[in-house]
């Protein structure tokens, strides 16, 4: 059973894995806190508005995004993450998706704290931030900005993605002005700003999340255990060394050429998408882009 779950989890794309983690955290919180009446440790993972409290739990700038305050809260977040995550991953690889998502979470959290420490109407109020909304909004607005002319069906209305993005941001601004869930709306706007800027800069050839991605890779490498291979005696065959080096060089040259050709095709397809929308692609181009995204 455990092996089956690991296999099924391994088959999920990165957006689906995030959804699975969020659902498990949500259900675990319900079971252990409400059913078994265990101490509520969620407060150690929520993002506080007070900067002093935040300094004592700096990890909360990320962990707050894995907790939700109700079924409706997590349902809509995960639904949007599923649909827009799938579109995102048809264009880019998992690493870029995580860059956009978690940078959205971080920027949304920072704007939440900034608002509660600078806006006069919010000064002195106690609040905490939870939910994946900032990261989800970052992915959503990124897609809407990168594929502005892509058409989607919203109930009975066909909308271009840039129209949908504008509607979502305007609704958040309206709710912010009415005082409804101010902290949540601030985090939404932070995520939206990150998604918009990221997509615009990427269109211009600049990946603003590259440094963040390298930082996350370095953190991941810290926790990887180095496996030491057993010592063994190696006998050098000097006669075949030159031939082997030549074969390796030829193989590397062929691989580099294939990678360059593949990247040129991807760039041409992405340029076509930015100008005419995703639907302008042929089936062959869509299939090529999808397979390329999986391989990355």
Q: Which residues contact 156 (CB under 8 A, 6 or more apart)?
A: none
pLDDT digits (tens, 9 = 90+) for 173-186: 999 888 888 999 99
Task: Please calculate the CA angle 186-188-192 and round it to the nearest 5 degrees.
Answer: 115
**193 near 107, Cβ under 8 Å?**
yes
C-alpha span between 196 and 148 (Å, rounded): 11
H or E element in which residue 129 lies: strand 128-129
Specify the pLDDT at position 228. Answer: 46
- What does pTM read for this prediction? 0.76
- The closest of 177, 108, 109 to 141, measured between CA atoms, is 108
**117 near 123, Cβ under 8 Å?**
yes
- The closest of 81, 87, 99, 137 to 277, measured between CA atoms, is 87
- DSSP code per residue over 143-176: HHHHSTT-EEEETTEEEEHHHHHHHHHHHHHHHH
Specify the pLDDT at position 37. Answer: 67
Using the Cα atoms of residue 70, residue 75, residue 81 and residue 82 in order, give the sign of their dihedral: positive
The tens place of each residue's pLDDT in the chain, 296 residues long, gives: 566 777 778 888 999 999 999 999 999 988 887 777 666 778 899 999 999 999 999 999 999 999 998 899 999 999 999 999 999 999 999 999 999 999 999 999 999 999 999 998 888 888 999 999 999 999 999 999 999 998 888 778 888 999 999 999 999 999 988 888 899 999 999 999 999 999 999 999 999 999 999 988 888 788 765 544 455 544 455 555 555 556 555 665 667 677 777 777 777 787 777 667 666 777 777 777 777 765 55
Residue 156 dihedral angles phi and psi, to the nearest 5°: -110, 10
Residue 225 dihedral angles phi and psi, to the nearest 5°: -85, 130
């Amino acid at each position: 059973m455990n092996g089956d779950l690991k296999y099924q989890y391994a088959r999920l794309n990165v957006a689906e894995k995030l959804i699975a983690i969020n659902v498990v955290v949500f259900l675990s919180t319900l079971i252990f806190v409400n059913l078994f009446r265990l101490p509520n440790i969620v407060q150690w993972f929520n993002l506080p508005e007070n900067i002093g409290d935040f300094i004592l739990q700096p990890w909360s700038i990320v962990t707050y995004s894995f907790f939700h305050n109700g079924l409706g809260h997590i349902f809509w977040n995960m639904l949007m993450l599923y649909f827009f995550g799938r579109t995102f991953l048809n264009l880019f690889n998992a690493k870029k998706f995580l860059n956009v998502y978690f940078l959205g979470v971080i920027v949304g959290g920072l704007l939440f704290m900034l608002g509660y420490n600078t806006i006069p109407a919010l000064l002195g109020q106690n609040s905490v931030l939870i939910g994946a909304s900032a990261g989800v909004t970052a992915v959503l607005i990124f897609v809407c900005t990168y594929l502005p002319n892509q058409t989607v069906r919203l109930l009975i209305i066909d909308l271009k993605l840039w129209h949908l993005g504008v509607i979502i941001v305007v609704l958040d601004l309206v709710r912010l002005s009415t005082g409804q869930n101010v902290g949540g709306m601030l985090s939404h706007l932070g995520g939206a700003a990150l998604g918009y800027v990221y997509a615009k800069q990427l269109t211009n050839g600049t990946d603003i999340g590259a440094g963040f991605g390298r930082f996350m890779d370095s953190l991941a490498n810290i926790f990887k255990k180095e496996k030491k291979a057993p010592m063994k005696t190696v006998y050098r065959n000097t006669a075949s060394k030159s031939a082997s080096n030549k074969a390796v060089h030829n193989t590397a040259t062929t691989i580099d050429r294939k990678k360059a050709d593949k990247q040129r095709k991807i760039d041409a397809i992405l340029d076509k998408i930015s100008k005419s929308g995703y639907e302008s692609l042929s089936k062959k181009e869509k299939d090529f882009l999808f397979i390329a995204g999986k391989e990355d």
